[in-house]
Amino acid sequence: MDTKPIRDNYLPYGSQWIEEDDIQAVVDVLKSNYLTTGPTVKKFEEEFAEYVGAQYAVSFSNGTAALHGACFAAGIGQGDEVITTPMTFAASANCVLYQGGEPVFADIDDKTYNIDPKKVEELINEKTKAIIPVHFTGQPVALDEIHALAKEHNLVVIEDAAHALGATYKENKIGSISDMTMFSLHPVKHITSGEGGIITTNDKNYYEKLVQFRSHGITRDNDKLIENHGPWYYEMQFLGFNYRLTDIQAVLGSSQLQKIDRFVELRRKYIDMYNIAFNEISQITVPYQAEGCNSSWHLYIIRLNLEQLTGTRKEIFKGLQLQNIGVNVHYIPVHQLPYYQQIGYKRGICPNAEKLYEEIITLPLFPKMTEDDVNDVIAAVKKVINQYRK
Ligand SMILES: *Cc1c(COP(=O)(O)O)cnc(C)c1O
User: pLDDT tens for residues 119-147?
Assistant: 999 999 999 999 999 999 999 999 999 99
Ligand 1, atom 6: nearest CA belongs to which residue?
Answer: 63
Cα(48) to ligand 1 centroid in Å equals: 17
The verdict on the CB of residue 160 being under 6 Å from ligand 1 is: yes
Q: Which of 118, 151, 173, 189 is catalytic?
A: 189
Cα(283) to ligand 1 centroid in Å equals: 30
Does the pLDDT of residue 2 top 70, yes or no?
A: no
What percent of the chain lies above the pLDDT cut of 70? Answer: 99
CATH number of 260-387: 3.90.1150.10
Q: Of all atoms in ligand 1, which is nearest to the CA of residue 184?
A: 7
Domain ranges of the chain: 20-257, 260-387
Global pTM exceeds 0.85: yes
37-86: per-residue pLDDT in tens?
Answer: 999 999 999 999 999 999 999 999 999 999 999 999 999 999 999 999 99
Q: What is the pLDDT of the chain when averaged over all its residues?
A: 97
288-328: per-residue pLDDT in tens?
Answer: 988 888 999 999 999 999 999 999 999 999 999 999 999 99
Cα(62) to ligand 1 centroid in Å equals: 8
The domain 20-257 having CATH identifier 3.40.640.10: the answer here is: yes
Report the 10 Å Cβ neighbour count for 3: 5
pLDDT value of residue 292: 83
Does the pLDDT of residue 1 top 60, yes or no?
A: no
